[in-house]
């Protein structure tokens, strides 16, 4: 019986819910494993010793989480980063564009809330949101927002059988059934602005699709159902920086991009899940030190 | 093993750069085994030493001067030494270091960075293969006149298949309608008859008459030319009492009228007055083509093109001083038709108004030519045409005819021309120096007023007035020039690259020009030029091309087949087979690198300028960073390189913090390369590309602008203060560069 830990750090528990949404596989997984720690499901205070597999959701935003992840690493055989936040920083990583104190002030002083004016002090914030790999060695990443249940099942059952999981790392485009004609609309659109041709590549139609820079293996559910890929599975193949890779590709296609949207839109589209691990944020971090 | 060759430029750089320190430094670099110092590798004296120095090197770094001086000697020496010609990196120590950075230690420090980058570059770059390919060996001649036919015949003699596209229903052009040629009054009959039969039956020439060029597509092996054919239906059989038709004249309804050789009847004379050089066609049976050929569009593939579309007559209609439109005012060309035994009148000269023989004939020269209001150029052939026609009338038709030629200057330069002029004068033809002022009907003839050479107003009366109209480009040559990408002169003739040394070649490689389509000229000159054009065309087709294969290589492990490369390619060189990886057409690919920099997954790399080659240089430079800030310059290898050289030539100075990395084109530059530079410690970035719309690879200028706009916003949002600047520059805008760099350095210090 393998001892499994399931924990959520700076994230929203969605991935943990995905992890227990294994359906029939859950029976198999639970029969072969012992869920020794899962605060979302069972109340527990202390992190137990001798963890075989630690499944961690969420990134690191404060010193408390930093301590926890370090403690987990020490006590675990295998650490799995589950979901975009743990793997790349996720959506909270976009907060790295603003300095911490400014964010706290915005949230607690200038937003609707009950305790206006009281900035909590019981936790010591870090300057930025981090993926867990910034603090500890991560053995496997199950990307996505939320991750595919099949990926979670595959990882756990493969590990249980004593083997090392291998992941598909191709582009979302490789999974995408849409037809590519090689001709691009000169103007970019967001998906709510127009109804796309259901059979044709969304990027070619001018919709801001992150597929080419995003790891496939998900089966391209978003483009298939008429939505642009948001990039939740992070960079694929040799993409060093999801956002920059897409800017290079799209300026190559259309020459000019800027006038289409505001910079906030671009950042949100290009780095929705990976800003915290981008070269851009690395430069910013170093420059601002 | 990498060897580094230092050249001191005849010791001129010894006090500007510390060669000893550099030599010691490069020995510390990975892979460098040997350094050689030379005094002047560009001179023949050092040639053998250079070859010797190179031997045994796998990769070569040369630290010398500008590539415009030393790249050829290096490449020749590499070939002699048996090394692949392009597997070297050149650091321009003179114009780009010593001349622009006057402090010796600063210059030496920059030299270190550039040497390290060069060593990294040759290590990361792959040697290129050379491929040869052949051009299509079919030729196209547009225009079936004397120039076009000569070119076609010459090309066919050399074994090429030739297509002749002719707009009118028959070949022969203007020359076939002229019965006598100067200076020796040869009958063009010889050309129309036997020569035409020879040309028509010559193996290897395929004629496409009643056809016009519609579409031209250039590709590396030649041209894909689509022409459309609209045959005319004409009954060309002999008619009882009329004989064979001799001429077809297009009529107002867009069809053709047939003209038989009927003698000087009024109807025949009307045909003559309606005929105009450039639109009527001799239908001398031998020149007649298979005009019943099917209508429609066809595409042929050819390796070279000769444009010989001829001329048309200047139209003097509506200009009072020449009186064209009045009874018995005709053009020199129409007179040629009257003189032609196979022409409408059977060679009898008669007045159009009453079919009587004119007794007094006046010829006026320079009609439309040498006239700022109409055609400023001299049409060259008209003096001799008038002299010839006057002589033919005097000697063979009516010795008693009074012929007066009103001229400005007689230009009779050519073999036998002057003696023909003298002979004609001796026959009694009257040559008067003067300018025509007015023509008006007078009795049943014409009254002519002119100003003579002394400025006096004088009059002449005439039965017939002949206007020596000049040549102008034939209709449609403008469209054709656009299709083939050939320039036109101010007068609308096809323009050569250089009127002295390259007067048959055009700016479009493989397209040659001949005959009056390039400017007024006579028959011998047209034939000579056509022969030359045929030779150039043949030579062009025979020349096998060599091309360095520098198209991107696909790393299949990194390719997700998203198809972005195929879509960004400005040359349509990429295809992606179903379930396959991108494939490159080595001929179409121009190695701009746009696909490489646009590939999100970095699956593509050009051997000599790829993503990794750029990154290797960037990292090498920044690993040598000391206390001084570094501004990375990503510089276009074309204009940018020249700009850096010009800065040196003009001894301009700028901060040695600026360290260049050359890229094939701005298209080749990925933002990930730039960000990698900033991440590795660059304090500022300057991108030097070509001036707007002048990118050698079509998209580089626009692309880099788009990238920079968005990265500038991103930097602002992420509070990154590293300044990035794009400089659009030609090779000479040095002061703009130094000013912009100065401002950038200020921002670097503030940041």
- DSSP secondary structure string, B505-566? B-SSTTEEE-GGGGS---HHHHHHHHHHHHHHHHHHHHPPEEEEE---EE-GGG-----HHH
Decide which of A44 and B383 is more confident: B383
Whether the CB of A218 is below 8 Å from some CB of chain B: the reply is no
Predicted pLDDT of residue B400: 94
Residues A156 and A186 both lie in one domain: no
Confirm whether A60 is domain-assigned.
Answer: yes
**Each residue of B101-134: pLDDT tens digit?**
988 888 999 999 999 999 998 888 887 777 777 8
Helices (H) and strands (E) in chain A, counts: 11, 7
Residues A35 and A97 in one domain: yes
Question: Is the distance from CB of B117 to CB of B166 less than 8 angstroms?
Answer: no
Locate tokens 């500038």: which residue?
A: B712
Scan residues 496-555 of B and list those with Cβ closer than 8 Å to A: 555
| Spatial separation of the C-alpha atoms in residues B678 and B699, rounded to whole Å | 25
Q: A96 and A186 in one domain?
A: no
> What single string gives the DSSP state of each residue in B82-95?
T--TT-EEEEETII
Q: ipTM higher than 0.85? A: yes
Q: Which residues contact A232 (CB under 8 A, 6 or more apart)?
A: A84, A143, A144, A145, A214, A272, A273
Residue of A nearest to B722 (CA): A287
A138 shares its domain with A177: no
Last residue of a domain, one of A160, A188, A216: A160
Q: What is the structure's pLDDT at A287?
A: 66
Looking at the complex, does the CB of residue B713 fall below 8 Å from at least one CB of chain A?
yes
- Which range of B196-200, B424-428, B654-658, B696-700 scores highest in mean pLDDT? It is B424-428
Work out the burial of residue B233: count CB atoms within 10 Å of its CB; fewer than 13 is exposed, 13-18 middle, 19 or more buried. exposed
Using omega within 30 degrees of 0 as the cis cutoff, is the peptide bond preceding B183 cis?
yes
Quick: pLDDT tens for B439-469.
999 999 999 999 998 999 999 999 999 999 9
Q: In this predicted model, which residue has the larger pLDDT, B137 or B279?
A: B137
Residue B385 to residues B107, B182, B185, B226, B375: CA-CA distances in angstroms?
Answer: 72, 7, 10, 37, 18
Alpha-carbon distance of B303 to B224, in angstroms, equals 9
Packing angle, helices B611-623 and B104-124, rounded to 10: 150
Token pair recorded at residue B745:
């350095």
Q: What percent of chain A has pLDDT over 90?
A: 33
Give backbone dihedrals phi and psi of B398, rounded to 5 degrees, phi first: -145, 95
Q: What pTM was estimated for this model as a whole?
A: 0.68
List the 640-669 stretch of B: residues with Cβ below 8 A of A.
Answer: 667
Q: Kindly report which listed range (A239-243, B39-43, B232-236) carries the lowest average pLDDT score.
A: B232-236
Per-residue model confidence (pLDDT) at position B269: 87
CA B380 to chain centroid, in Å, comes to: 25
Band of residue B253 on the pLDDT scale cut at 50, 70, 90: confident
Say if residue A26's pLDDT is above 90.
Answer: no
Looking at the structure, tell me whether residues A107 and A217 fall in a common domain: no
Are B684 and B629 in contact, with CB atoms under 8 Å apart? yes
pLDDT in tens, B549-560: 788 889 888 888
pLDDT at residue B286 tops 60: no
Residues of A in contact with B705 (CB under 8 A): 255-256
- Is the pLDDT at B410 greater than 90, yes or no? yes
Distance of alpha carbon B85 from alpha carbon B74, whole angstroms? 8
CB half-sphere exposure, A28, CA atoms < 13 A: 12
Residues contacting B12, CB < 8 A, separation 6+: none
Count of other CB atoms within 10 angstroms of residue B234: 18
pLDDT band with cut points at 50, 70 and 90 for residue B525: very high
Structure tokens at A20: 């227990």
The 10s digit of each residue's pLDDT in B195-217 is 777 887 888 999 998 899 999 98
C-alpha to C-alpha distances, B398 to B339, B349, B361, B403, B427, nearest whole angstrom: 12, 9, 11, 10, 11
Over 90: is that where the pLDDT of B139 sits? yes
**Within a domain: A232:** yes
Estimate the crossing angle of helix B104-124 against helix B19-27, to 10 degrees. Answer: 30
Please report residues of A whose CB lies closer than 8 A to that of B625.
none
Chain B contact present for A239, CB below 8 A:
yes
Q: Do B714 and A248 touch (CB under 8 A)?
A: no
Is the pLDDT higher at A28 or at A211? A211
- For residue A29, the distance in angstroms to the closest alpha carbon of chain B comes to 33
User: pLDDT category, A256, cuts 50, 70, 90?
Assistant: confident
Please check the confidence at residue B262 and state whether its pLDDT lies above 60.
Answer: yes
Three-state DSSP state, B370 = coil
Structure tokens at B150: 């000569």
**Per-residue pLDDT tens digits for B665-707:** 888 888 899 999 999 988 899 988 887 766 777 777 778 888 8
* A142 and A202 together in one domain: no
Average pLDDT over residues A60-82: 93
Is A167 part of any domain? no
The answer to whether residue B411 scores a pLDDT higher than 60 is yes
Strand, coil or helix: what is B33?
A: strand
Which residues lie below 8 Å from residue A267, measured CB to CB, with a gap of 6+? A94, A97, A243, A275, B714, B717
Could you tell me which of B316, B460, B351, B334 has the C-alpha nearest to residue B389?
A: B334
HSE of A265, CA atoms in CB hemisphere, 13 A = 11
Same domain flag for A239 and A194: yes
CB within 8 Å of A93: residues ≥ 6 apart: A59, A85, A128, A129, A131, A271, A273, A274, A275, A276, A277, A281
Tokens of A226: 């008429």
Long-range Cβ pairs for the range A204-211 (8 Å, 24+): A204/A180, A204/B567, A208/A269, A210/A172, A210/A242, A210/A246, A210/A269, A210/A270, A210/A272, A211/A171, A211/A172, A211/A173, A211/A176, A211/B562
User: What value does the mean pLDDT of chain B take?
Assistant: 87
Summarised one tens digit per residue, pLDDT across range B295-308 is: 899 999 999 999 99
Looking at the structure, tell me whether residues A96 and A189 fall in a common domain: no
For B301, the token pair is 């593939």
Helix, strand, coil: what percent of chain A each, to 5?
40, 15, 45
How far apart (Å, rounded) are the C-alpha atoms in residues B114 and B109?
9
pLDDT at A289 over 60: no
Query: Into how many domains does chain A fold?
Result: 2
Which residue out of B552, B558, B561, B562 would a mutagenesis test of the A interface target, given it has the greatest number of A Cβ atoms within 10 Å?
A: B562
B285 band by pLDDT with thresholds 50, 70 and 90: low
Q: Are A184 and A246 contained in the same domain?
A: yes
- Residue A282 in domain: yes
Which of A160, A190, A216 terminates a domain? The answer is: A160
User: Out of B563, B718, B721, whose CB is closest to A182?
Assistant: B563
The per-residue DSSP string of B635-704 comes to EETTHHHHHHHHHHHTT----TTEEEEEES-GGG--HHHHHHHHHTT-SEEEEEE--TT--TTSSHHHHH
Same domain (yes/no): A188, A140:
no
pLDDT class for B487, splitting at 50, 70, 90? confident
Confidence (pLDDT) at B425: 95
A137-193 tens-digit pLDDT: 999 999 999 898 888 888 888 888 888 988 877 889 888 999 888 888 888 888 888
- B719 chain-A contacts, CB cut-off 8 A: 284, 287-288
What percentage of chain B has pLDDT greater than the value 90? Answer: 36
Q: Which of B604, B673, B675, B710 to mutate to test the interface with A (most CBs of A within 10 A)?
A: B710
Category of B82 on φ-ψ map: left (φ > 0), alpha (ψ -120 to 50) or beta: left
Query: How many other C-beta atoms are found inside a 10 Å radius of the C-beta of residue B75?
Result: 14
Q: What percent of chain B has pLDDT over 70?
A: 96
A166 found inside a domain: no
Residues B500-520 have pLDDT tens digits of 778 898 877 889 999 999 999
Does the pLDDT value for residue B86 go beyond 80? no
Q: Which of A160, A181, A207 is where one domain is finished?
A: A160
Structural domain that includes position A21 = 3-160
Question: Within a domain: residue A18?
Answer: yes
Residue pLDDT, tens place only, B363-391: 999 999 999 999 999 999 999 999 999 99
User: What's residue B621's pLDDT?
Assistant: 92
The CATH code of the domain that includes A89 is 3.40.50.700
B617 by DSSP, 3-state: which? helix
Given a cut of 80, whether residue A118 has pLDDT beyond it is: no
Convert the pLDDT of each residue in B40-75 to its tens digit. Answer: 888 867 778 888 888 888 888 989 888 888 888 888
Q: Could you tell me the pLDDT band of residue B193, with boundaries at 50, 70 and 90?
A: low
| Most confident segment among A149-158, B120-129, B151-160, B645-654 | B151-160
Same domain? A58 vs A181: no
Distance CA B256, CA B122 (A): 69
User: Cα–Cα distance between B579 and B558 in angstroms, integer?
Assistant: 15
User: Which chain B residues are within 8 Å of A252, Cβ to Cβ?
Assistant: 564, 568, 594-595, 597-598, 667, 699, 703
Residue B616 has pLDDT above 60, yes or no: yes
Separation CA B666–CA B704 (nearest Å)? 6
DSSP code, position A258 = G
**pLDDT attached to residue B191:** 59
Return the higher-pLDDT residue of B533 and B645: B533
B604 touches B596 (CB < 8 A): yes
**Is B182 within 8 Å of B384 (Cβ atoms)?**
yes
Is the model's pLDDT at B607 over the cut of 80? yes
pLDDT at residue number B451: 95
What is the percentage of chain A residues whose pLDDT exceeds 70?
97
Closest in B564, B679, B721 to A282, CB measured? B679
B367 touches chain A (CB under 8 A): no
Bridge partners of residue B165, in order along the sequence: B142, B208
Query: What's the pLDDT at B192?
Result: 61
Phi, psi dihedrals of residue B662, rounded to the nearest 5°: -90, 135
B41: helix, strand or coil: coil
> Positive or negative, the Cα torsion across A75, A78, A83, A85?
positive
Residue A118, in any domain of the structure: yes
Task: Judge whether A165 lies within some domain.
Answer: no
Q: How far apart, in Å, are the Cα atoms of B351 and each of A251, B339, B348, B361, B402?
A: 73, 12, 10, 10, 14
| CB atoms A267 and B678 under 8 Å | no
Model confidence at B290: pLDDT above 60: no
Helix B700-717 to helix B671-679 angle (10° resolution) is: 40
Neighbouring-strand partners of residue B36: B5
Q: Please tell me whether residues A115 and A60 are part of one structural domain.
A: yes
For chain A, positions 165-204, list CB contacts with chain B under 8 A. Answer: 170-174, 180, 182-184, 201, 204
């Amino acid at each position: 019986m393998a001892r499994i830990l399931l924990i959520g750090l700076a994230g929203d528990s969605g991935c943990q819910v995905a992890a227990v949404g294994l359906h029939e596989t859950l029976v198999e997984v639970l029969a072969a494993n012992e869920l020794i720690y899962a605060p979302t499901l069972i109340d527990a205070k202390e992190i137990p010793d001798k963890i075989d597999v630690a499944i961690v959701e969420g990134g690191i935003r404060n010193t408390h989480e930093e301590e926890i992840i370090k403690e987990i690493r020490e006590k675990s055989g295998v650490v799995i980063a589950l979901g975009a936040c743990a793997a790349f920083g996720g959506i909270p990583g976009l907060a790295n564009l603003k300095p911490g104190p400014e964010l706290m002030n915005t949230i607690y002083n200038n937003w609707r809330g009950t305790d206006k004016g009281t900035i909590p002090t019981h936790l010591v914030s870090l300057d930025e949101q981090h993926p867990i790999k910034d603090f500890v060695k991560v053995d496997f990443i199950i990307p996505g927002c939320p991750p595919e249940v099949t990926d979670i099942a595959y990882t756990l059952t493969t590990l249980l059988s004593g083997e090392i999981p291998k992941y598909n790392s191709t582009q979302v485009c490789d999974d995408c059934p849409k037809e590519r004609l090689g001709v691009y609309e000169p103007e970019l659109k967001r998906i709510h602005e127009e109804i796309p041709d259901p059979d044709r590549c969304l990027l070619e139609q001018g919709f801001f699709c992150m597929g080419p820079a995003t790891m496939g293996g998900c089966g391209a559910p978003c483009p298939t159902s008429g939505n642009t890929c948001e990039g939740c599975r992070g960079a694929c193949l040799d993409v060093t920086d999801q956002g920059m890779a897409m800017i290079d590709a799209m300026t190559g296609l259309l020459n000019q991009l800027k006038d289409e949207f505001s910079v906030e839109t671009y950042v949100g589209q290009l780095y929705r899940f990976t800003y915290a691990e981008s070269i851009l944020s690395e430069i910013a971090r170093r420059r601002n030190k | 093993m990498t060897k580094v060759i230092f050249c001191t430029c005849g010791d001129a750089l010894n006090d500007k750069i510390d060669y000893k320190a550099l030599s010691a430094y490069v020995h510390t670099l990975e892979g460098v085994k040997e350094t050689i110092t030379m005094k002047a590798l560009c001179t023949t004296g050092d040639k053998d030493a250079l070859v010797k120095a190179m031997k045994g090197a796998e990769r070569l770094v040369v630290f010398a001067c500008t590539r415009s001086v030393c790249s050829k000697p290096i490449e020749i020496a590499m070939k002699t030494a048996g090394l692949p010609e392009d597997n070297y990196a050149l650091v321009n120590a003179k114009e780009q270091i010593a001349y622009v950075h006057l402090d010796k230690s600063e210059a030496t420090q920059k030299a270190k960075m550039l040497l390290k980058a060069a060593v990294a570059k040759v290590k990361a770059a792959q040697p290129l293969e050379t491929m040869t390919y052949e051009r299509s060996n079919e030729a196209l001649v547009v225009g079936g006149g004397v120039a076009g036919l000569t070119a076609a015949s010459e090309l066919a003699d050399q074994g090429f298949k030739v297509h002749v596209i002719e707009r009118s229903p028959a070949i022969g052009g203007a020359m076939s309608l002229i019965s006598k040629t100067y200076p020796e009054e040869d009958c063009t009959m010889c050309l129309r008859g036997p020569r035409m039969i020879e040309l028509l039956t010559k193996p290897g020439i395929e004629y496409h008459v009643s056809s016009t060029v519609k579409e031209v597509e250039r590709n590396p092996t030649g041209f894909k030319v689509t022409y459309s054919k609209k045959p005319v239906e004409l009954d060309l059989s002999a008619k009882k009492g009329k004989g064979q038709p001799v001429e077809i004249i297009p009529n107002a309804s867009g069809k053709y009228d047939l003209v038989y050789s009927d003698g000087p009847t009024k109807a025949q004379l009307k045909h003559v007055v309606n005929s105009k050089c450039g639109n009527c066609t001799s239908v001398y049976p031998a020149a007649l083509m298979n005009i019943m050929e099917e209508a429609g569009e066809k595409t042929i593939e050819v390796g070279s093109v000769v444009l010989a579309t001829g001329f048309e007559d200047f139209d003097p209609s509506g200009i009072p001083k020449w009186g064209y439109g009045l009874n018995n005012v005709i053009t020199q060309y129409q007179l040629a038709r009257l003189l032609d035994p196979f022409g409408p009148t059977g060679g009898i000269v008669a007045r159009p108004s009453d079919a009587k023989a004119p007794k007094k004939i006046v010829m006026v020269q320079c009609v439309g030519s040498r006239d700022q209001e109409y055609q400023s150029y001299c049409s060259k052939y008209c003096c001799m045409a008038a002299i010839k026609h006057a002589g033919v009338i005097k000697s063979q038709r009516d010795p008693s005819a009074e012929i007066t030629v009103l001229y400005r200057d007689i230009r009779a330069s050519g073999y036998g021309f002057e003696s023909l002029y003298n002979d004609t004068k001796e026959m009694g033809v009257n040559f008067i120096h003067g300018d025509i002022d007015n023509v008006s009907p007078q009795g049943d003839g014409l009254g002519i007023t002119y100003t003579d050479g002394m400025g006096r107003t004088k009059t002449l009366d005439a039965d017939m007035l002949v206007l020596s109209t000049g040549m102008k480009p034939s209709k449609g040559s403008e469209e054709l020039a656009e299709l083939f990408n050939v320039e036109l002169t101010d007068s609308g003739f096809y323009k050569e690259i250089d009127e002295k040394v390259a007067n048959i070649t055009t700016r479009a490689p493989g397209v040659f020009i001949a005959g009056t389509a390039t400017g007024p000229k006579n028959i011998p000159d047209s034939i000579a030029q056509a022969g030359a054009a045929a030779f150039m065309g043949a030579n062009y087709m025979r020349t096998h091309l060599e091309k360095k294969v520098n198209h991107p290589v696909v790393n299949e492990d990194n390719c997700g087949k998203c198809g972005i490369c195929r879509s960004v390619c400005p040359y349509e060189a990429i295809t992606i087979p179903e379930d396959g990886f991108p494939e490159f057409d080595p001929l179409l690919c121009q190695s701009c690198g746009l696909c490489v920099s646009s590939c999100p997954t970095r699956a593509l790399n050009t051997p000599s300028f790829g993503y990794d080659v750029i990154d290797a240089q960037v990292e090498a430079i920044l690993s040598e960073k000391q206390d001084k800030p570094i501004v990375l310059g990503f510089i276009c290898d074309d204009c940018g390189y020249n700009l850096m050289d010009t800065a040196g030539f003009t001894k301009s100075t700028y901060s040695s913090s600026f360290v260049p990395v050359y890229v094939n084109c701005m298209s080749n530059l990925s933002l990930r390369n730039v960000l990698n530079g900033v991440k590795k410690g660059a304090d500022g970035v300057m991108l030097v590309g070509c001036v707007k719309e002048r990118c050698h690879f079509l998209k580089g200028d626009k692309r880099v602008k788009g990238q920079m706009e968005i990265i500038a916003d991103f930097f602002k949002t992420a509070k990154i203060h590293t300044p990035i600047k794009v400089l659009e520059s030609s090779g000479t805008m040095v002061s703009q560069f130094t000013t912009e760099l100065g401002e950038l350095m200020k921002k670097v210090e503030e940041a």
